[in-house]
Amino acid sequence: MSETVISLEHVNIYQGQSLVLEDVNFTVEKGEFVYLVGKTGTGKSSLLKTLYGELSLKEGKANVVGFDLSDMDWKKVPFLRRNLGVVFQDFQLLTDRNVHDNLKFVLKATGWKDEQLIEEKINDVLDKVGLKSKGFKMPFEMSGGEQQRVDIARALLNSPKLILADEPTGNLDPETSDEIMQLLFQIVQDYGATILMATHDFIVINRYPSRILKTERGRVFDSSNYVAEENSTTF
């Protein structure tokens, strides 16, 4: 029995008063890897921000990891985000503390109190991303690829059902991008997580093909709805 992790029905997405995306309809099931593509300014970021509660849902029905976005207020957003992992293009690591303490900060902020469990979880996520021996390092001592792995480790801390990855290979060279993509697909395979990844990198998509959502002309097109033919819309 499949489990729906994201469900949007007739959703209109606004940035301020401007309608950015109209009549958005799609579902994402547990264990799926889905790309989100589209030119700059076509609504990719607004869609992601709606999914993690930064932009409020004004019109339509949306459910993300069991949370009704139409019933979302500032008090409920932290509970939604505890069930999500977000991976950023620019890492957003705290520069004044080492990798271990970056991860500990997030756990403490999301309600973890038991020091032994905190240490076990930190060791676990660093092991998953291949950085078990790097917890003592400061972010500035690490390569871009290593920092992105720390960012992914941080996203895994609360064992999320859904990871939203915003251009996670955008600042990386091709070889490092490959390593990060292999890691993300491994996380889907090994842990049953669901990943929605925004990207401009079509080299990555060609090397690691999967379902695509595309923002274009104020709409979201879903590759799973189209046969791969020359004349089949924008894919």
pLDDT confidence bin for 235, thresholds 50/70/90: low
pLDDT of residue 1: 65
Helices (H) and strands (E) in the chain, counts: 7, 10
Asked if 164 and 156 touch (Cβ cutoff 8 Å), the reply is no
Regarding predicted confidence, which is higher, 7 or 235? 7
pLDDT of residue 9: 97
**Is it the case that residue 231 has pLDDT exceeding 80?**
no
pLDDT confidence bin for 165, thresholds 50/70/90: very high
pLDDT digits (tens, 9 = 90+) for 166-187: 999 988 899 999 999 999 999 9
Place of tokens 């590759």: 223
The helix (H) or strand (E) run that includes residue 125 is helix 115-128
The helix (H) or strand (E) run that includes residue 107 is helix 99-109
Strands, E, within 16-95: which ranges?
A: 18-29, 33-37, 59-64, 67-68, 84-87
The fold of 4-33+42-225 is Rossmann fold (3.40.50)
Query: 80 vs 5, 206, 220, 230, CA distance in Å?
Result: 12, 32, 23, 40
Q: Give me 220's structure tokens.
A: 């979201």
pLDDT confidence bin for 89, thresholds 50/70/90: confident
pLDDT digits (tens, 9 = 90+) for 3-53: 999 999 999 999 888 999 999 999 999 999 999 999 988 999 899 999 999
Average pLDDT value for the chain: 90
The residue ranges of every structural domain in the chain are 4-33+42-225
**Is it the case that residue 206 has pLDDT exceeding 60?**
yes
- In the chain, the percentage of residues whose pLDDT exceeds 90 is 71
pLDDT digits (tens, 9 = 90+) for 139-157: 999 998 999 999 999 999 9
What type of residue is 227? V
pLDDT of residue 96: 93
CA distance 194 to 185: 10
pLDDT of residue 182: 94
Identify which of 41-45, 52-56, 114-118, 226-230 has the greatest average pLDDT.
Answer: 114-118
